[in-house]
Amino acid sequence: MNTGIEKKDIRLLDLPALQDILTGMGEPKFRAKQIHEWLWKKGANSFEQMTNLPKKLRENLVNHFSINTITIDKVQKSLDGTIKSRFRLHDGYMIESVLIPVPVDRRYTVCVSSQVGCSLTCKFCATGQMKRHRNLDAGEIYDQVVAVNQQSLETFDHPLTNIVYMGMGEPLLAYRNVMESIDLITSPEGLNMSPKRITVSTAGIAKMIKKLADDEVKFNLALSLHAADDKKRDQIMPINEQNNLEALMESLRYFYRKTRNRISYEYITFQNFNDSLEDAANLVKLCKSFPVRVNIIEYNPIDGAPFLKSAEHKIDDFARHLRKNDVMVTVRRSRGKDIDAACGQLANKE
């Protein structure tokens, strides 16, 4: 029955707001907790699935609320086992998530998106060439984790072990929704995952990194660094002009001092741009203020970008210089390149 009332997505309501609405409808308070559990713990995408609710209440909910879950639009499987999923949102926009399995280490990581597109225009990133349409709400981020966890169970007989906010968008520009999604993911009423298994990656917004510290977050933080001096970083990441390395290092020191959470630098190497031993020496200087791990990432070419992947021996020399100076470093070989699922390649391509 169409009541003519514009339906609100019920998942945008927290438990107290849900309780207020239910008691206002003359229902006992505990019904809100039942609905909340159906939505987040059991992943219901319709009110009809909520079988412990009276039929009249379910009809009432259908008339007044929607459940705007995401739906899988396309799945691609890489030769290396990586799985990329494109999801359709309730308003027709598309986003992508990536499942990265490393069975030998029993690590199954989902890379989730936080925005439709991105506004930061990093020169090496396909998502940065897209227009930012909107932030994802907490439920849309949460749904990616639920759907990819199901993929992991079905494909590898293993649940997700880690979540990285490194997909489409800048998480700290969708701050409230990202934080709400992490609350849901880590809550016993949600997925009950440890925050220590979650990493939020940022291109570098100093004031928001300080806000993370003031909010005493429990998850890990990654800075997409990619150049260890301001001149080079300005060329590839326009955000650096307002958030230079001095400001970023000060904010990261503050973050570590307040939280003691793990910090890592993501560093994509580009041929003859940021892969020299001089660049490595500059990076060493940025690793002395607090404990940090450097993840060196192979560049994945994208249409319209002038960069090339560094030679293997240059990457190895770069990493060796860091280790020689007591910097923890991991070289991450690209996964999912054949399906445009590797770092910087997410762009909703057909």
Active site residues: 96, 343
How does DSSP classify residue 5? Answer: P
- CA 349 to chain CA centroid, nearest Å: 19
Give the pair of three-digit tokens for residue 330.
Answer: 């991991």
Q: Nearest Cα to 101, choosing from 140, 168, 148?
A: 148
Burial 120-150 (b: 16+ CB within 10 A, else e): bebbbbbbbbbebbebbbbbbbbbbbbbbbe
Strands 94-102 and 83-88: antiparallel
Count CB-CB contacts under 10 A for residue 304: 7
Whole-number Å distance between alpha carbons of 79 and 102 = 13
Contact call for residues 128 and 119 (beta carbons, < 8 A): no
- CA 333 to chain CA centroid, nearest Å: 19
Count CB-CB contacts under 10 A for residue 10: 20
Q: Which long-range contacts (CB under 8 A, 24 or more apart) does 42-48 make?
A: 43/146, 45/69
Contact call for residues 185 and 149 (beta carbons, < 8 A): no
Q: In 96-216, which ranges are continuous DSSP H helix?
A: 138-156, 175-186, 206-214
